[in-house]
């Protein structure tokens, strides 16, 4: 008989994020994800045999890497496994799908999240159109029928900054403030209990690109990504990174069995496609659609927004266009600081929400938080969570 239950995120962990060819340069996705799954299950006191399914977002490995990750994590061979690919939004999609599957009574315990290792991902090579042409490597971004119509993520942010007249110094100031937020968060140990060090070493406990002692000069001296008229630089944009982020989602029955631990609960989620020339605006459009879905809900009740921004320009446009308070956005630093781990990026946002809203239980209780980002190809995804 079909039964309707609620679902709860009761544990959430991630690795430190590493530059491509950096911290995780020799780690495959199973080596990244397995220790995180083990730690998350230990956090909530569930043995591996209780896991019914594993749902993981990944955009570069191919096949069904969720099965590889499940087995590497010591889960039973009887555990199901599914991989999702909506590019950058894959990890968030995986967690939302797990919440819905548990709420629909399809499972009692699901591990869900995202993992990406661009450092060790297989190379993709396009077959030449004729015998007289050489094969060529295929990049991360999806190829459209007319590649000229599909803007690169930085070109899309550059177009947004030009259209909205977001000056270079505004973008640098936002990025600098984001670095300072992350530095303060690290000093206050806000990432303790969130990041799983994969070996005993200080660099394994912090995001590799989140350097200390950032100053305005570090940003003003950066070269332009799109000269001569561009405004984006390596310092005010987010670079691709390696990393894994996983959450444990359980049913009402398991939540009760475990003594009703503090948790996150999914309230609503949306996705929204945008025109090819508005790719950088996808998160804003997703947020507007989310607001429309929430009849009777006051958006001012949202106390936290975790955005995996492509650039400072996108974050500035997101904040101003939606009329949000700047302090609500990425209070511990955003993707321009820690990097953007492609399919794991959305899952990292949920782990960040869990840390602020559940693990740390700050004096001012944060009841509602949003995870949102734009996926390569022009799709925005947003999910609203409630702390329980």
d(CA 366, CA 46): 26
- Give the whole-angstrom CA distance, residue 7 versus residue 254: 9
Q: Which of 311, 247, 196, 316 is nearest to 92 (CA)?
A: 247
CA 385, 263, 97, 105 torsion-angle sign = negative
Of 24, 61, 179, 340, which is the active-site residue? 340
- Regarding beta strands 241-251 and 264-273, do their DSSP bridges make them parallel or antiparallel, or are they unpaired? unpaired
Helices (H) and strands (E) in the chain, counts: 11, 12
CB atoms inside a 10 Å sphere around CB 303: 19
Question: Could you tell me whether strands 368-375 and 379-387 are parallel, antiparallel, or unpaired per DSSP bridges?
Answer: antiparallel
Please tell me the distance from the alpha carbon of residue 108 to that of residue 251, in angstroms, as a whole number: 5
Q: Is 99 a catalytic residue?
A: no
Active site residue 88: yes
What φ, ψ does residue 296 adopt, rounded to 5°?
80, 0
- The catalytic position among 88, 99, 179, 241 is 88
Q: How far apart are CA 222 and CA 234, in angstroms?
A: 7
Max CA separation in the chain (angstroms): 67
Six-digit token string for 331: 């209070």
Q: Which two tokens stand for residue 332?
A: 């511990």
Catalytic residue set: 88, 340
């Amino acid at each position: 008989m079909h039964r309707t239950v609620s679902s709860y995120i009761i544990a959430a962990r991630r690795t430190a994020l590493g530059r491509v060819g950096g911290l995780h340069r020799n780690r495959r996705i199973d080596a990244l994800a397995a220790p995180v799954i083990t730690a998350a299950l230990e956090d909530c006191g569930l043995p591996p045999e209780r896991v019914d399914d594993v749902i993981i977002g990944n955009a570069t490995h191919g096949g069904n890497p969720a099965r590889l990750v499940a087995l590497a994590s010591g889960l039973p061979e009887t555990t199901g496994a599914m991989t999702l690919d909506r590019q950058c939004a894959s990890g968030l999609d995986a967690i939302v799908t797990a919440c819905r599957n548990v709420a629909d009574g399809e499972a009692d315990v699901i591990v869900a999240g995202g993992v990406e290792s661009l450092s060790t991902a297989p190379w993709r090579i396009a077959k030449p159109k004729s015998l007289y042409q050489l094969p060529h490597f295929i990049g991360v971004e999806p190829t459209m029928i007319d590649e000229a119509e599909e803007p690169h993520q930085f070109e899309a942010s550059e177009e947004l900054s030009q259209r909205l007249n977001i000056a270079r110094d505004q973008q640098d100031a936002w990025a600098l403030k984001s670095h300072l937020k992350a530095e303060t968060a690290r000093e206050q140990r806000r990432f303790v209990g969130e990041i799983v060090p994969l070996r005993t070493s200080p660099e394994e406990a912090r995001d590799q690109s989140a350097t200390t002692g950032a100053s305005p000069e570090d940003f003003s001296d950066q070269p332009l990504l799109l000269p001569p008229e561009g405004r984006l630089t390596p310092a005010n944009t987010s670079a691709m990174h390696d990393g894994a982020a996983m959450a444990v989602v359980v049913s009402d029955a398991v939540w009760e069995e475990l003594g009703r631990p503090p948790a996150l609960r999914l309230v609503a989620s949306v996705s929204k496609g945008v025109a090819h020339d508005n790719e950088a605006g996808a998160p804003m459009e997703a947020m507007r659609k989310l607001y429309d879905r929430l009849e009777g809900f006051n958006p001012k009740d949202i106390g936290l927004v975790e955005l995996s921004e492509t650039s400072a320009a996108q974050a500035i446009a997101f904040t101003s266009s939606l009329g949000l308070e700047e302090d609500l956005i990425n209070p511990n630093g955003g993707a321009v600081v820690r990097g953007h781990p492609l399919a794991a990026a959305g899952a990292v946002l949920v782990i960040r929400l869990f840390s602020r809203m559940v693990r740390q239980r700050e004096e001012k209780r944060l009841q509602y938080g949003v995870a949102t980002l734009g996926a390569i190809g022009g799709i925005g995804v947003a999910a609203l969570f409630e702390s329980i």
